Chain A
Amino acid sequence: MKPLKILLLPYMAAVIVGAFLWPAPAQGFIGESSRIVFFHVPCAWTSALAFLVAAAYSVAYLARRKPVHDDIAAGAVRLGLLFAVLALVTGALFAKIMWGAYWNWDPRESSFLLLIFLYAAYLFLRAAVEDPERRARMSAAYALFAAVLMPFLFFVAPRVTSSLHPQTVINPQGKILMDGPTKAVFFGALIAFSWLFVWMLGLEARAARLSRRDRAEGSI
């Protein structure tokens, strides 16, 4: 964990500096607003990654019933909530600049709001059950059920109705519509945020393990 943390700091700093100084602002956007793509999209990507990690560890928990898998799944959901909120806030800032309103019920905006509801619902479910094994099992079942239905939220709902959202990186043409420097900083930011997520998840898992050990020893 320590080398991970030490290398992450300069790498993230380089990405942030690069995002503001290297690529030119993209065409078709007001002023420098296009630079938000280096923060908004990685936050969105990380929140989706967090949910996939939570689903994977939920499968692992149901298969093996090891508490550490439940700890990681719950930690991933908490972090996913954080990154989803950041994605929503950065998206709202962009929407204000481009379309004059922080929120306009754009389908893609709304999908992220619902992802936040989903994360919050998972945490609400965990808070409502006292028994640790039952809590872990129910959370895992809910996370996996939601994982199956989530594609309808992310990929179907925004396409059933029209959207103001700019064309995404994953688009029907299958082309990445970015120049070289923009592409370099963008993918660098994706790696940086994913790395940040992995590091924070490691901290969450360690904290949960220590808490469980303290409870078992009767300290708490």
Chain B
Amino acid sequence: MTRSGDARAFQEASPAASRLPPSGPIGRAWAICAKDAAQELRRRIAIASIFFFAATAVTLVSFGIGPFGLPAEARDRVCSALLWIILFFCAATGLPRAFVREEETGTAYALRKVAPASLTLAGKTLFNYLLFLAIAAVTVPAFSILLEWRVGSPGALAALLVLAGYGLSVVSTFLAALVARASQKNVLFVVISFPLLLPLLLSAIVATVEAAGGSMPSTPLRVIVAYDGAATCAGYLLASAAWED
């Protein structure tokens, strides 16, 4: 019998074996993502802290500026900048947890053994991306409502959040792998991520201003897509250097 035939027979004989690790890179990356999601949903500390941070930031901004505190001509620029500041610091609060948690719980060694670095990074990037989208799905409407900020092209803003969120997740996850075993992790993460994420954030702010005005921000979106592609390639090629023992 072939090896895959053995595995199939074993799976059919034993229900517990139906939880055999998935084969193929996509399946394994997805399994890592699902593991992280299950861990976070079980304890909910990290997710709760991110959402509380977002709620606090939006509340403070709303209290300080209010729905009518900005002149109409400055509203789009100020709101766009504030929104991305909040999203960046939410990401900085929660996304590095992906690798830090592995070191804290002592599972990093096991993870290095079961999956190559590139798949580990892919799985954790996927989890962080979904987490960012969840944060944005709650934060952006709350921000818009509390500040009475009407976005002229919500579809463009949604596309921007999907694309820029991916770039943010890729870079944040890679840097999280780097700082996982360094001292002063939280401070170090913010210091090393800020210069790398700035081109993305600047383009996102410009794109948000254009989307708020009702137009499709094609130029900044192209920059963001190029940035996402470059970050993905660099992250894949350098994954083992960032994550190896």
Contact = CB atoms under 8 A, between A and B. Distances in A.
Interface of A: 62, 114-115, 117-118, 120-122, 124-125, 128-130, 134, 137-138, 140-142, 144-146, 148-149, 152-153, 156-157, 160-161
Given A121-B195, A137-B244, A149-B196, A160 B174 contact: no
A121 B234 contact: no
* Chain B, interface residues (CB within 8 Å), range: 35 or more
A161 B230 CA distance: 21
Nearest to B222: A156
Contact of A149 (B199, B206, B220): B199
Contacts of A152: 199-200, 223, 226-227, 230
Nearest to B223: A156
Q: Which 5 A-B pairs have the closest CB atoms?
A: A152-B199, A148-B234, A141-B241, A118-B195, A128-B182
Interface in B173-193: 174-175, 178-179, 181-184, 188, 191-192
A137 B230 contact: no
B238 interface: yes
B244 A146 contact: no
Interface string B44-67: 000000000000000000000000
B219 A125 contact: no
Contacts of A130: 183
B178 A118 contact: no
Interface string B23-54: 00000000000000000000000000000000
B82 interface: no
Given A118-B195, A128-B182, 16 more contacts: A114-B195, A114-B198, A115-B195, A124-B188, A128-B179, A129-B181, A140-B241, A142-B178, A144-B241, A146-B196, A148-B231, A148-B233, A149-B171, A152-B226, A152-B230, A153-B198
Contact of B219 (A129, A148, A160): A160
Contacts of A141: 178, 238, 241-242
Nearest to A120: B191
Given A125-B178, A128-B183, A148-B230, A157 B202 contact: yes
Contacts of A62: 241
B221 to A, nearest CB: 11
Nearest to B181: A134
B230 A149 contact: yes
B220 A160 contact: yes
A149 B171 CA distance: 10
A149 B223 contact: no
